[in-house]
Amino acid sequence: AQSVTQLGSHVSVSEGALVLLRCNYSSSVPPYLFWYVQYPNQGLQLLLKYTTGATLVKGINGFEAEFKKSETSFHLTKPSAHMSDAAEYFCAVTTIQGAQKLVFGQGTRLTINP
Amino acid sequence: DAMVIQNPRYQVTQFGKPVTLSCSQTLNHNVMYWYQQKSSQAPKLLFHYYDKDFNNEADTPDNFQSRRPNTSFCFLDIRSPGLGDAAMYLCATSREPGNSYEQYFGPGTRLTVT
């Protein structure tokens, strides 16, 4: 079975500072990994995904994430935070085997300070 | 634009009064999912349809039912809502497993139970 742990339920950074949201996964088979963003009273929007190939994945809104198998991590970064980045971020994992279900982490609320 | 639509966005129902939430999609995806998301929590999968095949999660209460009359529409029925069922309900779609692993989410319906 797969699982996801997001370190830090709340992260606060200053506008213009580096954003780093941590995600570690557990999977007995090669994982497919996702980061979703959720703004208040909205659905989830895909930021980026890793399935196969290049381990550094670039997504929308300037975000990127690197799949590190040896560390079982898929941390999300953005070089310079913008006020509009304030939202809830979810890391999720699925695998090619079995039903195509997403297993979510508990989420990280990102706050941007002016 | 192809998308996932949920109606209504906000729904108020009385304790014990049946309620139906609606989801439609223009993506022509084979798989449709229903999630329940409570405040400050990750989405929790209730069930999903792969075409007409219904797949219930083991811990989904019997109070929750679903219908998928055609490819485009899927409904969530809550037979006797309790106060604990107040939540955001998210609909999502994906292509058949093995083709794409990304799920596309609707904006959600926020259910209030009075």
**Residues A17-63 pLDDT 10s:** 999 999 999 987 788 899 999 998 889 999 999 988 899 999 999 99
Chain A hits for B94, CB-CB cut-off 8 Å, are 100
Give the pLDDT score at A30: 80
Chain B hits for A51, CB-CB cut-off 8 Å, are 101
Using CA atoms, how far apart are residues B83 and A108, in angstroms rounded to an integer? Answer: 26
CA A55 to chain CA centroid, nearest Å: 14
Q: Could you report the per-residue pLDDT of A88-99, keeping only the tens digit for each?
A: 999 999 866 655
Using CA atoms, how far apart are residues B85 and B87, in angstroms rounded to an integer? Answer: 6
Whole-Å CA distances, A76 to A21, A88, A89, A105: 5, 13, 9, 13
B2 falls in which pLDDT band (50, 70, 90)? low
B105 falls in which pLDDT band (50, 70, 90)? very high
Instruction: Please indicate whether residue A95 or residue B113 has the higher confidence score (pLDDT).
Output: B113
Task: Supply the mean pLDDT for chain B.
Answer: 92
Q: Say whether residue B93 is in contact with chain A using an 8 A CB cutoff.
A: no
A9 falls in which pLDDT band (50, 70, 90)? very high
Interchain proximity B43–A90, CB inside 8 Å: yes
Using CA atoms, how far apart are residues A18 and A81, in angstroms rounded to an integer? Answer: 6
Burial class of residue A17 in the structure, from the number of CB atoms within 10 Å of its CB (0-12 exposed, 13-18 middle, 19+ buried): middle
- φ/ψ region of A98 (left if φ > 0, alpha if ψ in -120 to 50, else beta) reads left
Question: At a CB cut-off of 8 Å and minimum separation 6, what does B24 contact?
Answer: B4, B5, B7, B72, B73, B74
The beta-carbon neighbor of A42 closest among B45, B103, B107 is: B107
Chain B hits for A23, CB-CB cut-off 8 Å, are none
Average pLDDT of the residues in B29-57: 92
Question: At a CB cut-off of 8 Å and minimum separation 6, what does B57 contact?
Answer: B45, B46, B47
Give the pLDDT score at A15: 97
Residue B98 has pLDDT above 60, yes or no: no
